[in-house]
Amino acid sequence: MNRLITDEERAQLLAHGQARAAGQAIDPLPVVRLFTPDAHATWLLVSLDPTDEDTAHGVMDVGIGMPELGEIKLSDLASIVGPRQQPVMRDRYFKAVRPLSEYLRLAQENGAVVD
């Protein structure tokens, strides 16, 4: 799990998760982009549930043309491998340029997360 996000990203994800848990209507920039290098799946994550620190919230694009808003456990992502046995990886160069809602809108229009 630690290889997917840095300590700094975890702190940002938890802060957003605490705001969501408190009922605040937030639309933050995604904190991290995870992807499978051999399966065209992408996850743009904005928050972690502060109660389990494992359930992430964000845009999920599993490569079938139907990206959606949802939740996934980091522990589950850490166990995923693509068809060539490539694990989920963190995009070390990702810098969000728009809020999550805008990434979701563009992803749904294009059928995939576009950076």
- Give the per-residue pLDDT at 9: 96
Between the CA of residue 16 and those of 10, 21, 46, 95, what are the distances in Å? 10, 9, 7, 17
Structure tokens at 1: 């799990």
CA angle, 5 then 87 then 108, to 5°: 75
83, 38 in Cβ contact below 8 A? yes
Q: Whole-model pTM? A: 0.93
- Give the per-residue pLDDT at 81: 87
Structure tokens at 7: 């300590």
Regions of the chain short of the pLDDT cut 50: 1-2
Q: Provide the 3-class DSSP secondary structure of residue 102.
A: helix
